[in-house]
Structure 1
């Protein structure tokens, strides 16, 4: 038996072991839960490259999932393609720019939720005691929710809840400009908000408009 044949067999064995470890990682530190009955997903982009020993997919998902459900989906997607050493999966939500979550096998599975979780969404929608809610908006792209309200003394305030954790409440002043409401608050970056005619919240800095937040209706 030639040395080259032996080396080839050894490489095949090592590669098989690596693939078995990669497959088993989906069963590792993440507990798995069934996906919702209404849940659907599709592959939006496939940037896999066998030369780099890498699979990489962008997946459109119909709704947000828990970490445990993402582990289930990651395992299903992982098994859908020929095995590579690394597998990167990016999840996107309907009508929401950017990546909401990732589940990367490199080689162990690591799940990250970059936007708001289901629990944070519920918290953001809760009615606040002794407050008159004027409007609520949320942006997954920039990772925060804004609640514009009047407190028990009818003082205008703004509560900002961040997807990364933490929140703040500040006094604000509003003014009507061309049938749109401008909301100013103290900050060091010349930032302010405008409630637009379409109901969305325009996000502004000293350099002009940089984004929008969608209306929260529930």
Structure 2
């Protein structure tokens, strides 16, 4: 090949002779366009550069660097089909994603310029490029948190859905929202042969049994062997890397731990009846791992208090002093401490914890 060459055609010829194998079904909706759309794009790619599309197919080859993984895929309208479409060169800014030859993938990304070259027979060939923002590998999705909103639309089937079905889809989503929980891998780090670490975003709290089931699915998606696998789970509003809600670690055997409040513990804390002698300023739920609690600020007998009620039934109460500035209400312990901790009620009514170093966490208001 000459400048910016690709070996896609050679792999295509080989795979046409050898065929394909595998029939695992994807566990996410993630709509894709058919091959005829890709053929139309190939006719005039300049019109489509920068536009968002999704395609599916089988990986021909993959190369990984420190900053991204680049792979070629042979597009197909559905898994198991022998009708091959054009090949795509995919650039994905998420190294350590388990993409290997023959992986079945769906790719969501923006069309880029074609890569020009020559095949083994000297004929001029080109391959469209896609700058991916999300890739599913055998049903498990990988993406960057900055694209989470778009990816969630893709996962739900709303993205690229026919207009006539959007309303129906939304109705179904509303009916299932209270019972269905979804998850997505939002971060990964791999030391080949040693360990694999994953960060997973949950749509809602789940049981220990469900966490164990998810962990086993995530483990199976990568056929490579590791001595240890560490998986951390985060709820929708939690910052990745700042303390997980739960973990499922294979060290080497599976151990499931919920570090924050379970759904049952949350329900119990919220149902606690307030002492009628208290004049309640607010109640909040603190989801801090290991220290989750119900926080109440109230007046009683002419004094102001802040109370933490923990999931094990214990509690702690301290007298506080309110210092308000404009619309901001802040509360500090009457007994001074070296850390300068104080609480701030924000515009949404949630309770933020700060200290001398800055912001720490937010407890959500509830009635």
* TM-score, normalised by the number of residues in structure 1: 0.69
In the aligned structure 2, how far is the partner of 1:159 from the partner of 1:137? 10
The equivalent residue for 1:80 is: 221
Unaligned runs of 5+ in 1: 1-35
Secondary structure of the corresponding residue to residue 193 of structure 2: helix
Q: Residues 101-180 of structure 1: matches in 2 within 5 Å?
A: 101-126=246-271, 127-130=273-276, 131-141=278-288, 143-145=291-293, 146-151=295-300, 153=301, 155-162=303-310, 166-180=314-328
Per-residue CA deviation, residues 41-94 of structure 1 (Å, 9 max, x unaligned), is: 111123233332x33221111111222222222222222221523221111111
In the aligned structure 2, how far is the partner of 1:56 from the partner of 1:144? 25
For the pair shown, the structure with the greater C-alpha radius of gyration is 2
Secondary structure of the corresponding residue to residue 47 of structure 1: strand
Higher RCO (Cα < 8 Å, 6 or more apart): 1
* Change beyond 3 A, Cα 1:128–1:40: same
Q: By how many angstroms is 1:204 displaced? A: 3.0
With 97-106 and 126-135 compared, the bigger mean Cα shift is at 126-135
In the aligned structure 1, how far is the partner of 2:344 from the partner of 2:260? 23
Question: Does the 8 Å CA contact 2:287/2:363 hold for their aligned counterparts?
Answer: no
In the aligned structure 1, how far is the partner of 2:233 from the partner of 2:262? 13
Question: Does the 8 Å CA contact 1:200/1:212 hold for their aligned counterparts?
Answer: no
In the aligned structure 2, how far is the partner of 1:57 from the partner of 1:165? 33
Question: Does the 8 Å CA contact 1:125/1:216 hold for their aligned counterparts?
Answer: no
User: What count of residue pairs does the alignment treat as equivalent?
Assistant: 180
In the aligned structure 2, how far is the partner of 1:167 from the partner of 1:214? 16
Q: Residues 1-218 of structure 1: matches in 2 within 5 Å?
A: 37-52=179-194, 54-84=195-225, 85-97=227-239, 98=242, 99-126=244-271, 127-130=273-276, 131-141=278-288, 143-145=291-293, 146-151=295-300, 153=301, 155-162=303-310, 166-185=314-333, 186-189=335-338, 190-205=340-355, 207=356, 209-218=358-367
In the aligned structure 2, how far is the partner of 1:107 from the partner of 1:164? 29
In the aligned structure 1, how far is the partner of 2:308 from the partner of 2:249? 30
Q: By how many angstroms is 1:208 displaced? A: 5.3
* Change beyond 3 A, Cα 1:57–1:176: closer
Q: By how many angstroms is 1:101 displaced? A: 0.9
Per-residue CA deviation, residues 19-41 of structure 1 (Å, 9 max, x unaligned), is: xxxxxxxxxxxxxxxxx941111
The equivalent residue for 1:28 is: none
In the aligned structure 2, how far is the partner of 1:174 from the partner of 1:129? 21
Q: What is the root-mean-square deviation in Å for CA atoms of aligned residues?
A: 2.7
In the aligned structure 1, how far is the partner of 2:361 from the partner of 2:200? 24
Question: Does the 8 Å CA contact 2:181/2:206 hold for their aligned counterparts?
Answer: no
